[in-house]
């Protein structure tokens, strides 16, 4: 079939639906002025985290899902304990929303999808347009905490959007481009894997290794030992990698870049539509840039090997991987913006 494209008023772009036309200028503006010219750095990581913290605000206790309530009712929601640190990216995004004609719910999900496209190895996320302005703040306790039990985490995701345990694993692919500023406040920017600027499968390798050290101080709530200097491990990621409901799905991503991309694209679409009906929205995915590829292989960090794997999945062996050469790996922090 021939798909008719419309010429956008900007005189440069064409779109399958005229409603998508204004997004090209917003995209170019945030790439230049929010994401520092197209990096996969701190603002991209925080913008992806924000897509989640806004969208998951829905369930049996109320909330409108991916509605931008984190922005409009920031005075309330950024004070919730699980949202610690989210005020920064909320503050950075607000001027772009004020400048452009877009609802905060749409902007949060759009910025997340554009930002992820800067990370080598990422899938090209979808973007659907059409979220109305939020009506009320989300209730507290909708965002899971790293010290929560697996039971409570799985229950929260099921309540929010009928996410299955396997889909919860898919959502945690996000932690391949992530760092923590507040879990151990003495070491802000400490990544969850050795490659926080690459959308690869290292997160699933490294969370399965035996924890041997705290990268900063010990005794922080929601933190357990990690296998690498400079890397932090959340208790929730540690437990999900080992729980019988999630461990085989977790391991299945090791060195499986195609599956990583495919599942993250699918589950992020579902997350971004919480509280909305896809049929009422316009598919503007064509505005999202195509991410650069990642062609490397998963490896054991230098100094570690198969004997450091805490095998959890009972039905499949951990894949055979090479070990990086050189002295024991130490991971550098993600620079602040
Ligand atoms: C069990 C569920 C989850 C828990 C307990 C959790 C917890 C956390 C915590 C504690 C941090 C560190 C925040 C800080 O100290 O700066 C973090 C960072 C992050 N999370 Fe999650 N998270 C979960 C699920 C998700 C999901 C579903 C997404 C997105 C789809 C996501 C995306 C991110 C990103 C991108 C960061 C890094 C932010 C940055 O580097 O600045 N998380 N998460
Ligand atoms: Ca990574
Ligand atoms: Mn951060």
Tell me the ipTM for this assembly: 0.99
- The stretches in the chain having pLDDT less than 50 are none
- From atom 25 of ligand 1, which residue's Cα is the shortest distance away? 172
Angle, CA of 191, 220 and 116, to the nearest 5°: 25
| Separation of alpha carbons 182 and 160, rounded Å | 25
Task: Give residue 1's pLDDT.
Answer: 74
Alpha carbon nearest to ligand 1 atom 2, residue: 144
Return the ligand number nearest the Cα of 144.
1
Pairing of strands 223-224, 233-234: antiparallel
Q: Whose CA is nearest to atom 11 of ligand 1?
A: 180
Put simply, whether the predicted model's pTM sits higher than 0.95 gets the answer: yes
Is there an atom of ligand 1 within 6 Å of 204 CB? no
Q: Distance, CA 14 to ligand 1 centroid (Å)?
A: 35
pLDDT at position 219: 93
From the CB of residue 85, how many other CB atoms can be counted at a distance below 10 Å?
16
Residue 187 CA, ligand 3 centroid: distance in Å: 11
E strands present in the chain: 6-7, 14-15, 128-129, 179-180, 190-191, 223-224, 233-234, 282-283
């Amino acid at each position: 079939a021939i798909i008719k494209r419309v010429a956008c008023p900007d005189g440069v772009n064409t779109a399958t639906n005229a409603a998508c036309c204004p997004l090209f200028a917003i995209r170019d503006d945030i790439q230049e002025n929010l994401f520092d010219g197209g990096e996969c750095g701190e603002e991209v990581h925080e913008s992806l985290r924000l897509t989640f913290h806004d969208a998951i605000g829905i369930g049996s206790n109320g909330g409108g899902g991916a509605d931008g309530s984190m922005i409009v009712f920031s005075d309330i929601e950024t004070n919730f304990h699980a949202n610690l640190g989210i005020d920064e990216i909320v503050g950075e995004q607000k001027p772009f929303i004020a400048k452009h004609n877009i609802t905060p719910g749409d902007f949060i999900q759009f910025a997340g999808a554009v930002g992820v496209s800067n990370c080598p190895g990422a899938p090209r996320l979808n973007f659907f347009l059409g979220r109305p302005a939020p009506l009320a703040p989300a209730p507290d306790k909708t965002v899971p905490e790293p010290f929560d039990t697996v039971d409570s985490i799985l229950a929260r995701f099921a309540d929010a959007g009928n996410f299955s345990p396997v889909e919860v694993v898919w959502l945690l692919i996000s932690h391949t481009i992530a760092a923590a500023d507040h879990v151990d406040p003495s070491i802000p920017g400490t990544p969850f894997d050795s490659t926080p600027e690459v959308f690869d499968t290292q997160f699933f390798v490294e969370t399965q290794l035996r924890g041997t050290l705290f990268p900063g101080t010990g005794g922080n709530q929601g933190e357990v030992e990690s296998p690498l200097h400079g890397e932090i491990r959340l208790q929730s990621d540690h437990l999900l990698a080992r729980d019988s409901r999630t461990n085989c799905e977790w391991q299945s991503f090791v060195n499986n870049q195609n599956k990583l991309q495919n599942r993250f694209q699918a589950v992020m679409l579902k997350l971004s539509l919480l509280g909305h009906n896809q049929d009422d929205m316009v598919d503007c995915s064509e505005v999202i840039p195509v991410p650069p590829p990642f062609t490397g292989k998963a490896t054991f960090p230098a100094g570690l090997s198969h004997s450091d794997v805490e095998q959890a999945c009972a039905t499949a062996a951990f894949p055979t991987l090479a070990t990086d050469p050189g002295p024991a790996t130490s991971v550098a922090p993600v620079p602040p913006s």
